[in-house]
Amino acid sequence: MSNSTQWVSALKGIIGETNVIQDPDQLKAYAVDGLAPKAVVNPGSVEEISKLLTYAHSEKRTVVPRGNGTKMATGGIPGKIDVVLSMLRIHRITEHDIPNLSLSVEAGITLAEVQKMLAGTGKGSFLPLDPPYSDRATIGGIIAANSSGPRRYLYGSARDLLLGLKAVYPNGDIVAFGGKAVKNVSGYDMTKLMIGSWGSLGVITEITTKLLPLPEASATLLTSFEDLAKAGSMTRKILHSVLLPSAMELMDGKAASQLGESARYLVAFSLEGVREAVDRQVAEIGDIAKKEGAVDTKVLWGEEDRIFWRRVRDFAIASEASVILRSNFVISKQAEILGNYEKIAQAAGIGCAWIGHVGNGILTSYILENGAAKMGPVVDLIGKFTAEAAKHGGNLIVESCPRDLKEKVRVWGQPRSDDVVMRRLKERVDPVGVLNPGRFVGGI
């Protein structure tokens, strides 16, 4: 029996023959940056994941965790993929504490499934995360990527919501951090370290999170501006006021047009709560917008409100952007950096659209019109965007792009001092390099 045959036979012994994919044509669908795995496994329990990783650790095989694949375009080019670990059979709701508004769910369930269940239980509640691709994205993938959306402004990210999580270390150990623990580890706050670690430290199998009651009412206020400086002044006024929208997004004309709105610059506000409070905020923010030079305001209710934010959240799908970049920087510089990015892109002759989380200092750039075909100019553009963000205390990551572009840019942006800490942690937790080798910051 060859080494390859023996290895695959061992996988089947752990997971079950029907839950191991070997067909080359099927494996292509699980490729990362053009690199297909040698096998895909679909475990049905945490214990099977533990056995799989124990075996991979002993045999020095590489494993890439995967949900529905919505985040697989992000990260460095993997050095090697032996096994893709599908989490889709690990998808139970393990505990729903309705009175105390908390929930424990396994990693393979989608956020859409969770929200549907929560909305229909008792008086209704929700998990206040709205990342891209929410209809397909799994809870594990969202947490591993620390993915978030427009409502991060009010509700925060996964780091603000999670009470604890369970995971399997690269050597097969089953661990838990926070909440109801199987094994607590002192020292690092491992819950927060696992969030946003892109599966490089362990395979997240279950999370325990806070919930919130469903708001009684919601509305969207759209404010249009001809001048970017006035739009920026408007957002700063709201940031320093007592008003509290759940989302505040600043976008350019191309993004607005894609969303069905006509504006040179559009500032969109999501407002949630009791109906009286929503009505009051719509009126007060509308008045501020007019004083700051808005040329038009528009209010969306009901289905129009929901559709608009779904389109914002999933803008990448509708825009068919060839490259997606996410910058972070000092919150007060949002409008200034958007303006500078516009000038840089215009000089390069590359079509872009921009949508920014104004209250969080995050700006997403979508390169359109097959701009990735202009390899040299796009590489230069990314470098200039990164330098601009770094000049204002931030950085830039490449969320999605073709492999040939990844080979020419730093997908995780400029190196930072904490990269060394992450590398040391990776060496301690995963010295063999079992999980996601090469995909996370610094190529770890």
Looking up residue 197, the CATH number of its domain turns out to be 3.30.465.10
Domain termination residue (choose one: 281, 313, 345): 313
User: Are residues 175 and 229 part of one domain?
Assistant: no
- pLDDT per residue of the chain (444 residues) written in tens, 0 to 9: 456 678 888 999 999 999 999 999 999 999 999 999 999 999 999 999 999 999 999 999 999 999 999 999 999 999 899 999 999 999 999 999 999 999 999 999 999 999 999 999 999 999 999 999 999 999 999 999 999 999 999 999 999 999 999 999 999 999 999 874 434 445 557 888 999 999 999 999 999 999 999 999 999 999 999 999 999 999 999 999 999 999 999 999 999 999 999 999 999 999 999 999 999 999 999 999 999 999 999 999 999 999 999 999 999 988 889 899 999 999 999 999 999 999 999 999 999 999 999 999 999 999 986 545 578 999 999 999 999 999 999 999 999 999 999 999 999 999 988 888 889 999 999 999 999 999 999 888
Evaluated on CA atoms 261, 264, 270, 275, the torsion sign reads negative
User: Are residues 41 and 153 part of one domain?
Assistant: no
What is d(CA 123, CA 212) in angstroms, rounded to the nearest whole number? 11
Looking up residue 389, the CATH number of its domain turns out to be 3.30.70.260
User: Are residues 333 and 296 part of one domain?
Assistant: no
User: Are residues 336 and 224 part of one domain?
Assistant: no
User: Are residues 61 and 157 part of one domain?
Assistant: no
User: Are residues 305 and 237 part of one domain?
Assistant: yes
What is d(CA 143, CA 326) in angstroms, rounded to the nearest whole number? 18
What pTM, to 2 d.p., does this model score? 0.94
What is d(CA 218, CA 308) in angstroms, rounded to the nearest whole number? 12
User: Are residues 392 and 331 part of one domain?
Assistant: yes
Nearest to 405 by CA among 47, 76, 180: 76
Q: Distance from CA of residue 75 to its chain's centroid? A: 12
Tell me the CB-side half-sphere exposure of residue 78, using CA atoms within 13 A: 28
User: Are residues 180 and 221 part of one domain?
Assistant: no
Domain count, the chain: 4
User: Are residues 231 and 205 part of one domain?
Assistant: no
Domain termination residue (choose one: 25, 53, 86): 86
285 domain residue, yes or no: yes
User: Are residues 187 and 117 part of one domain?
Assistant: yes
The domain in which residue 202 lies consists of 93-213
119 domain residue, yes or no: yes
425 domain residue, yes or no: no
Residue 227, SS3 per DSSP:
coil
Radius of gyration of the chain (CA): 22
Q: List b or e across 362-386, with b for residues whose CB sees 16 or more CB atoms inside 10 angstroms.
A: bbbbbbbeebbebeebbeebbbbbb
